[in-house]
Amino acid sequence: MKIKYELLKNDGKARFGKLITNHGTFETPMFMPVGTLANVKMLTPEELKEAHSAVILSNTYHLWLRPGEDIVAKAGGLHKFMNYDGPILTDSGGFQVFSLAKNKEKDITEEGVYFKSHIDGRPLFLTPEKSIEIQNKLDSDIAMSFDECIPYPVSYEYAKKSTERTLRWAKRGKMVFNNENQSLFGIVQGGEYSDLRKKSAIETVKLGFDGYSIGGTSVGEDKETMYKMIDDAIEYLPLDRPRYLMGVGDPIDLLEGIERGVDMFDCVLPTRLARHANAFTYHGKINLRNAKYKEDFTPIDECDCYTCKYYTKAYLRHLFVANEGLGGRLLSIHNIRFLIRMMENAREAIKEDRFLEYKEDFIKKYLDF
RNA sequence: GCGGAAUUGGUGAAGUGGUUAACACGGCGGAUUGUGGUUCCGUUAUGCAUCGGUUCGAUCCCGAUAUUCCGCC
């Protein structure tokens, strides 16, 4: 079956809802950790579950190259392949258009996108149809339309051209999409231009998707621009479908997104920061490599995660300084749990009509450090 | 005891009679938003064993001293 979304409560624009999937029912707003290569780096599914993580992201482009979607299909789909029985969302490869296509004018064509494999350099060509076909074989719960994540800053002309092309790609992808057990999301682009965002949202909704994403944010723009991008798009998205803000994971941005009506977020930030010794705390982000933690035998934070239950900052610092992989693993657990707990608290606040109060309080503590 | 060689930062070291002493590791700090697992950026020797001398100018040339290493008795 397709996913279902139930909007249960509004607090201003902030929404509390339920996402019903083939692999469980979960509350929104939610944060989704990223597991590009069929794994959330360093973590087992059990550890994700212990952090109360729900949906995870995986990636069409990367799994296409390695191990190949047919291998995953033979394994019985992504869930079986990676032993994860929670919901999985697959990104379409659209972000790789942004991050890997070298010459945008030349490599991005109406038909599709030319890549050079980042593994062996061989030429690749990805189309909207191919992306959907791969995601079908991966058998994720939610597939994403193939899009171009537009860089920032960008000329109006380029943003317009790219956004219109992304719309045509969305239509083409939807045409070939035929997996009854999978849902398909459309993605709003438009760069930093309000009228393009509006048009992109309206036209994408016209095509009709199971959920809607706001893409092309957190690509180097300042925060005010990003929040405007969200506002410009979300106004035209239907209330009865989940809204997914792609690639956003900074704690403050998550709250700003929720306030604007976003239901789902994904980001590499908690896991990448963890691998580089940066920990989220309720009093700001800290770097555990810092010498000041050498003899700090307290946990990272007041936190209910496995890491904070059993390990100290001094020990984690030692692991990072000694280049022991366990440091990144333990900190990934904490950082993911941190964002997920933020979401839990945000949902409680929305239910009790005090989201703005919660947000202001959180940000005050987070920055006053 | 005699002869020879060496001595540059926390470490391994490059280098020159003339502004700021290369590079690497380490240390310290920062970055990271639809992944960068080992990544990227910044910073880190007011000083070249010590004391004298030559010189306009010495880490570099000369002498003494100290330490280390290698030979010979």
pLDDT digits over A248-294, tens only?
A: 999 999 999 999 999 999 999 999 999 999 999 999 999 999 999 99
DSSP A139: T
Contacts of residue A224, Cβ cutoff 8 Å, sequence gap at least 6: none
Q: What is the largest CA-CA distance in chain A?
A: 60
Q: Give the CA-to-C1' distance from A295 to B68 in angstroms.
A: 38
CA distances from A362 to A31, A194, A251, A367 (A): 17, 29, 9, 9
CA A334, chain centre distance (Å): 18
Over 90: is that where the pLDDT of A42 sits? yes
Q: Which CATH superfamily is domain A4-267 in?
A: Queuine tRNA-ribosyltransferase-like (3.20.20.105)
Q: What would the mean pLDDT of A12-17 be, rounded to a whole number?
A: 98
Secondary structure class of A314 (helix, strand, coil): helix
pLDDT level of residue A86 (50, 70, 90 thresholds):
very high
Main-chain phi, psi angles of A172, to 5 degrees? -65, -40
Name the residue ranges covered by the structural domains of chain A. Answer: 4-267, 268-369
d(CA A256, CA A55): 21
* Catalytic entry in A139, A141, A263, A266: A266
Tokens describing residue A255: 């709250």
Contacts of residue A341, Cβ cutoff 8 Å, sequence gap at least 6: A52, A303, A304
CA A341, chain centre distance (Å): 16
CA distances from A310 to A109, A299, A339 (A): 53, 8, 19
What digits encode the pLDDT tens for the residues A159-218?
999 999 999 999 999 999 999 999 999 999 999 999 999 999 999 999 999 999 999 999
Averaged pLDDT score across all residues of chain A: 97
What DSSP string runs through A228-250?
A: HHHHHHHTTS-TTS-EEETT---
d(CA A14, CA A258): 5
Which positions of strand B lie within 7 Å of protein CB atoms?
Answer: 27-39
Over 70: is that where the pLDDT of A369 sits? no
Tokens describing residue A279: 């920990």
What digits encode the pLDDT tens for the residues A228-254?
999 999 999 999 999 999 999 999 999
Q: Give the CA-to-C1' distance from A289 to B46 in angstroms.
A: 30
User: Which ipTM score applies to this complex?
Assistant: 0.93
Predicted confidence at residue A191, as pLDDT, reads 97
Residues in chain A: 369
Pairing of strands A123-126, A4-11: unpaired
Q: Give the CA-to-C1' distance from A317 to B28 in angstroms.
A: 14
Total-model pTM: 0.95
* Catalytic entry in A11, A91, A147, A250: A91
**Does the annotation count A266 as an active-site position?**
yes
